[in-house]
Chains A and B, each alone.
Chain A
Amino acid sequence: MKGFIIKEFYHIFRDKRSLVILFGMPVVQILLFGFAITNEIRNVDIAILDKAHDKSSTLITQKMLSSDHFVLQGYLESEEEIESIFRKGKIKAVIVFEPDLHQKLMTSNLAAIQIIADATEPNTANTISNYATTIIRDYQNGVNRTVPAEWQIIPEVRMVYNPELKGVFMFIPGTMTVILMLVSAMMTSISIAREKEAGTMEILLVSPLKPVQVVAGKVLPYILLSSINAAVILLLGYFVFKMPMEGSLLSLSLATLLFIITTLSLGIFISTIAHTQQTAMMLSLMGLMLPTIMLSGFVFPVDSMPVPLRILSNIIPAKWFILILKGLLLKGVSMAYLWKEILILAGMTLVLIGLSVKKYAIRLT
Chain B
Amino acid sequence: MKIIVHILRKEFRQIFRNRAMLPILFVMPVVQLLILSFAATFEVRNIQLHIVDSDQSSYSRELAGKFLASDHFKLTGVSFSDKIARDEMQRSNTDVILHIPGHFERDLIKQNNAKVLLAINAIDGAAAAVESVYASAIIQDFNQGIRIQRAHESEGAVRPAAFSITQSFWFNPELDYKTYMVPGILVLLVTMIAIFLAGMNIVREKEIGTLEQINVTPIKKYQFIIGKLLPFWLLGMFELGFGLMICWFVFHIGIAGSIGVIFLFAGIYLLAVLGIGFFISNFTNTQQQAMFLSWFFMVIFILMSGLFTPVESMPGWAKVITEFNPVRYFVEVMRMVMLKGAGLQEILPQLGKLLVYALIMNGLAVAGYRKIA
Contacts and interface: CB of A to CB of B under 8 A. Distances in A.
Direct A–B touching in the complex (beta carbon < 8 Å)?
Answer: yes
Interface of A: 15, 17-18, 21-22, 24-25, 28-29, 32-33, 35-45, 82-83, 86-89, 92, 105-106, 108, 110-127, 129-130, 133-134, 136-137, 140, 143-144, 147-167, 169-170, 182, 187, 190, 194, 274-279, 281-283, 285-287, 290-291, 294-295, 299-301, 303-306, 309, 312, 323, 326-327, 330-331, 333, 337
Contacts of B164: 110-113
A185 to B, nearest CB: 13
Contacts of A301: 41-42, 44, 124, 127
A136 B163 contact: yes
Contact of A18 (B116, B173, B200, B289): B289
Contacts of A182: 295
B287 A120 contact: no
B269 interface: no
B356 to A, nearest CB: 20
Given A89-B332, A301-B124, A306-B38, A116 B287 contact: no
A328 to B, nearest CB: 11
Given A117-B168, A150-B112, A155-B135, A286 B32 contact: yes
A154 B172 contact: no
A115 B35 contact: no
B217 interface: no
B70 interface: no
A159 B293 contact: no
B334 to A, nearest CB: 10
Contacts of A169: 123, 125
Contact of A36 (B120, B147, B315): B315
A161 B123 contact: yes
B342 A299 contact: no
B46 A111 contact: no
Given A87-B341, A108-B159, A291 B35 contact: yes
A304 B161 contact: no
A32 B39 contact: no
A44 B309 CA distance: 13
A28 B167 CA distance: 39
Contact of A160 (B35, B91, B92, B122): B122
Which of B29, B39, B120, B140 gathers the greatest number of chain A CB atoms within 10 Å? B39
Nearest to B333: A89
B216 interface: no
A337 B90 contact: yes
A162 B125 CA distance: 7
A45 B114 contact: no
B122 A163 contact: yes
A121 B147 CA distance: 36
A39 B28 contact: no
A158 B89 CA distance: 13
Contacts of A105: 161-163
Given A117-B169, A295-B39, A150 B299 contact: no
Interface string B22-46: 0010001100100110111111111
A303 B146 CA distance: 33
Contact of A304 (B43, B122, B125, B295): B43
A304 B38 CA distance: 10
A82 B91 CA distance: 48
Given A118-B170, A154-B113, A159-B122, A124 B310 contact: yes
Contacts of A303: 45-48
A115 B335 CA distance: 22
A279 B21 contact: yes
A126 B170 CA distance: 11
B90 A153 contact: no
Kindly name the residue among A18, A162, A278 whose own CB sees the greatest number of chain B CB atoms within 10 A. A278
B118 A157 contact: yes
Most buried by B among A129, A153, A290: A153
A6 to B, nearest CB: 20
B116 A282 contact: no
B46 A156 contact: no
Contacts of A41: 310, 312-313
Nearest to A21: B292
A119 B167 CA distance: 11
Contact of B340 (A38, A86, A291): A86
A253 B119 CA distance: 30
